[in-house]
Structure 1
Amino acid sequence: MSGLVIVGVDGSASSLVAVETAARAALARAATLRVVHAFAGHAPYPPPDPVPVGPGDGGGPRELAEDLLTEAVERARATAPALEIEQSLVTGEPLTVLEAQSRAADLVAVGSRGRGGFVGLLVGSTGMHLAAHGRCPVLVVREQPTPDGPVVLGVDGSRAGERAVDFAFAEAELRKAPLLALHAWTTWNAPLPAPQDPATPYANPPGALAAEEERLLYEAVAGRKERYPGVVVEHRIVHGGTRESLIEVSRSAQLLVVGSRGRGGFTGLLLGSVSQAVLHHAHCPVAVVRGVEAHDRRP
């Protein structure tokens, strides 16, 4: 097998659903699944560098952590019996542990909400942190997906979103699912097209803005059809808010893919308003794919 899919677990129902989803993702990729639990032990503060936990010494919390990990591995085996599975009980703070492990992974999955070390915001502090800082695509499992739904790709036409486009096509091919490429725009978030008459820089014929946004969508996904000939693509232009449009279409999707920060984002922010909104409110699992600039900026 080649490739590695990592899933962070904490014993919550949400993380066990993430285990099942990650197991299916690893099986589709012919990759190894690594089930990871971060364990702080009795120390009031986690060590600065995560280290593997050794054999149990009979301590209650450690035994509970081992049982939790065993349950997650059993869930993964039940989902994909032929899958190669590793398990890792690691001393450290969950955010630090999973961010470090993401450097060697093709995909990291977490539940939308957890308990213990993974307790946080509505979507969970772990999922939000990894979406902003992970070194590979991050899959946050909010709800059970619609099995026969499409893979939905939020398109904004930015260079930072190119990796999200590639990821969405690859996922659609792996899942043998159609791809819905959606671009939502309003007069407030769409740049004005170049004027046809330089003497009248603010004059454009009716429909020019809509035509420009449609062109943006088709250009953003152009060239992938040759690489993924089996993927059936639907292009959809929506005149409306991006966040609202993606959340609504996620009701019937098996996966929603977005970039971490797109067109109009503020330089320096690692997670944009659209990706934050869908992480909180989408009705299916959400994959956040960081862009070229975000990866290249990090040491």
Structure 2
Amino acid sequence: MNSAESAAVVVGVDGSELSLRAVRLAAAEAARRHRPLRVVHGFIWPLLHVPLSAAPDGPPGGGLRNQAEQLVAAAVAEAEAAAPAVRVSGEIIDGEAAAVLLGESPTAALIVLGDRGLGGFTALVVGSVAIQVSSYADCPVLVARGAERTDGPVLVGVDGSELSDQAIEFAAESASGRGAALLAVHAYRHPASTGPGDMQPLVYDEAQLHTDEDRLLAESISGVRERYPDVPISRKAVRGKPGAVLAEASRQAQLVVVGGQGRGEFSGLLLGSVSQSVLHHADCPVAVVRAPR
């Protein structure tokens, strides 16, 4: 995460109801983090060389540029109503939505966007812009999806990797800001490997396996207990597919946090299979924490 005091929470808008939901979520996050909020709209039409101004005989306020200005103004007003103490600004940036948000990410504290926008196919659970931004952003990405809850814990997926540690830190900070508990979940299917190329035993004791995996989980969250003494922290190690386990647990959570790529996933993947699964199936907003490039 960008540590500069001036780093803003950035939210992408396209005029859809889903993007206005993202605006409200972003305003709340900016208030909790004592950050300014930037509302940005990727204005793709100049790239397509279409007329931007109102037709000479058209209604006042017509034209694509005017429409973009109106939707940004509406989003800014929505944010100011949701979080009056937050300094809010709006900007139209020429370019495709994902590219514009990725351009914002190196200096942003957090990118927030809806799971689908006006241009998304209704059959898609999560739109291409959300996937692209979650895959490439240089800061954490928060996708507004599922139910809006103010109760329940902040849920974080843990697998013992370095990126998982960053996700735990983000989740603990989020829980502290929300006055919520933190639930750390570690889902496992086989004994954890301790290094690349390790052979997993064909026969193992199930009870001992659970003890070992629970120990890994306990060690992973030990540091945040000291750094966030105000946050009640509980842990749960369960056997199962991580994506499915986290999606099910998200039904009682107000936020789920995952690392962009976990232990055992191919290094060439920009967005790991677990984080993709959670993005598609979670029942609450999802934060994806990626390693800085």
Return the offset for 1:268.
1.3
Q: For 1:167, give the aligned amino acid.
A: F
Q: State the distance in 2 between where 1:123 and 1:157 align.
A: 27
Structure 1 spans left out of the alignment, 5+ residues: 47-52, 195-200
Map of 1:6-25 to 2, 5 A cutoff?
6-25=10-29
Structure 2 spans left out of the alignment, 5+ residues: 53-59, 196-200
Q: How many residues align?
A: 276
Q: State the distance in 1 between where 2:242 and 2:21 align.
A: 27
Paired residue secondary structure (1:207): helix
Q: For 2:106, give the aligned amino acid.
A: R
Return the offset for 1:206.
5.4
Q: For 2:139, give the aligned amino acid.
A: C
Q: Do the aligned partners of residues 191 and 9 (structure 1) sit closer, same or farther apart at CA in structure 2, a change above 3 Å counting?
A: same
User: Is the counterpart of residue 176 in structure 1 residue 199 in structure 2?
Assistant: no
Q: State the distance in 2 between where 1:36 and 1:143 align.
A: 23
Return the offset for 1:276.
0.5
Provide, for residues 248-293 of structure 1, a one-character-per-residue CA deviation record: whole Å limited to 9, x for no partner. 11111110000001011001111111110111111000000013xx
Match of 1:26 in 2: 30
Q: State the distance in 2 between where 1:45 and 1:103 align.
A: 29
Match of 2:7 in 1: 3
Q: State the distance in 1 between where 2:258 and 2:18 align.
A: 21
List 4+ stretches of structure 1 deviating above 3 A: 118-121, 201-206
Aligned partner (choices 70, 88, 91) of residue 91 of structure 2: 88
Q: Do the aligned partners of residues 192 and 59 (structure 1) sit closer, same or farther apart at CA in structure 2, a change above 3 Å counting?
A: closer
Match of 1:198 in 2: none
Provide, for residues 195-231 of structure 1, a one-character-per-residue CA deviation record: whole Å limited to 9, x for no partner. xxxxxx8775552221111111011111111111101
Q: For 1:31, give the aligned amino acid.
A: R
Q: State the distance in 1 between where 2:251 and 2:205 align.
A: 36
Provide, for residues 50-90 of structure 1, a one-character-per-residue CA deviation record: whole Å limited to 9, x for no partner. xxx9xxx9661111111111111111111011210011111
Percent identity between matched residues is 46
Q: State the distance in 2 between where 1:217 and 1:230 align.
A: 20
Map of 1:1-299 to 2, 5 A cutoff?
2-44=6-48, 60-116=63-119, 121-187=124-190, 190-191=191-192, 207-291=207-291, 295-296=292-293
Paired residue secondary structure (1:109): strand
Q: 2:61 touches 2:67 (CA, 8 Å); kept in 1?
A: no
Q: For 1:258, give the aligned amino acid.
A: V
Q: Do the aligned partners of residues 112 and 281 (structure 1) sit closer, same or farther apart at CA in structure 2, a change above 3 Å counting?
A: same
Q: 2:11 touches 2:26 (CA, 8 Å); kept in 1?
A: yes
Q: For 2:273, give the aligned amino acid.
A: S
Return the offset for 1:9.
0.3
TM-score w.r.t. the length of structure 1 is 0.86
Q: For 2:25, give the aligned amino acid.
A: T
Provide, for residues 143-197 of structure 1, a one-character-per-residue CA deviation record: whole Å limited to 9, x for no partner. 342211100001111122221111011101111100000011123xx33689xxx
Match of 2:56 in 1: none
RMSD of Structure 2 on Structure 1 (CA): 2.4
Q: Do the aligned partners of residues 91 and 202 (structure 1) sit closer, same or farther apart at CA in structure 2, a change above 3 Å counting?
A: closer
